[in-house]
Structure 1
Amino acid sequence: MGKTALIVIDMINTYDHKDAELLLPSVRTVVPVLTDLLHRARDRGVPVVYVNDNFGEWRSHHGELLDHALAGPHASLVDPVKPDADSLFVLKARHSVFFETPLDYLLRQQGVQRLVLCGQVTEQCVLYSALDAHIRHFEVIVPTDAVAHIHEDLAQAALRMMERNMSARLCEGRELWQ
């Protein structure tokens, strides 16, 4: 068993985008589960890494993204899952948490071998991140109640693909760090 990291994908969000209305109901169910996962991970010293879309704002840093999201109409979905002082933060430009980011290097430097992927969107960023983690030989765990979706049918298909094709372990959030 190697070291585990909790990877929080794209949860710092203003929800000011095309699919937001379809995504928001799922996010509302995920936030309490993710909040609990974050507390348990932090209590156990599990590294927490936020990997977030930069929304095309190439001059901003994570604090600006967080401030913008917390000032928006959906701050109640961001505040409970916001990074703490010990959290690591990586900005990404595209779907995968690994695509042209320093995440792989960061995780290797920390001795991480297992990733718990949570956040949004199951059928997009979570799926592509799971594939990239798998091809980098990380063990992948996806708490199915801690990932939000736009389209439930595609999310279910994505979860099956992660489990079957990427050897991801699917579980519920409460099963981790009991």
Structure 2
Amino acid sequence: MADTALVVIDMINLYEHEDADLLLPSVREVLPTVGDLIGRARDAGVEVIYVNDNYGRWRSHHEELLKAALNGPHGDLVEPIRPDENSLFVVKARHSIFFQTPLEYLLGTQGIDHLVLCGQVTEQCVLYSALDAHIRHLRVTVARDAVAHIHRDLAESALRMMERNMGAEVLTADAVRLRTSGADIPVGAG
């Protein structure tokens, strides 16, 4: 059983929210790296878990959210990183991937104690999720070139806080090491 999961935060997105115009350039910049990281995790047999806002669509399930995002004005940002049939999907309503979601239970049942975080927004959802993982005694790695930001200066500060205050490893995606069945596997191996 793998003890690492790649968590893709809020990438199934309509980009109809405040600050979307500031976020979009950063998303476009990190999208290829996020896609590569997802592909490499899948190739390595590491669980890929999408944790995504529901954007107020309380009756929706993940397929409806995905369809809306793919058919939205920025579907080109969703298509390359869309969940496959093996991906897990958790819907959230607030910033943290843990806040009132079943994620902690899911991780426990899967024996996962190490999260590799990618997605958006570095200085918001990624930061709060890293903190919540840290207080749950989970190991955290953040792929610094696979997280998008609204404000670069705040994102850099958030990455420093995650590293210094939460003991997170902050690495480039190609330096991230994944563990499956007790063996270290570089993300790029395969």
Do Structure 1 and Structure 2 share a fold, with TM-score over 0.5?
yes
CA shift digits 1:90-112 (9 cap, x unpaired)? 00000000000000000010000
Identity %: 67
Find the counterpart in structure 1 of residue 183 from structure 2.
none
Q: C-alpha offsets along residues 31-53 of structure 1, whole Å, 9 cap, x if unaligned?
A: 10010001100001100000000
CA distance in 2, matches of 1:21, 1:165: 30
For residue 67 of structure 2, what is the aligned residue in structure 1?
67
Match of 1:6 in 2: 6
State the TM-score, normalized to the length of structure 2: 0.92
Q: CA offset at residue 132 of structure 1? A: 0.2
Distance 1:58 1:71 in 2: 19
Matches within 5 A, 1:1-178: 3-176=3-176, 177-178=187-188
Specify the SS of the correspondent of 1:29: helix
Query: Which SS does the other structure have where 1:106 is aligned?
Result: helix
- Structure 2 unaligned residues grouped into runs of 5+: 177-186
For 2:113, what is the secondary structure of its paired residue? Answer: strand
Counterpart-to-counterpart distance in 2, 1:118 and 1:39: 13
Letter in 1 for 2:106: L
**Cα distance between partner residues in 2 of 1:160 and 1:38:** 24
Deviations 1:89-136, CA, capped at 9 Å, x for gaps: 000000000000000000010000100010000000000000000000
Q: Distance in 2 between matches of 1:117 and 1:10?
A: 11
1:30 CA drift (Å): 0.9
Identify unmatched segments of 5+ residues in structure 1.
none
State the shift of 1:174 in Å: 1.2
Task: Detail structure 1 runs of 4+ shifted over 4 Å in the superposition.
Answer: none
Alignment RMSD (CA, Å): 0.8
Letter in 2 for 1:19: D
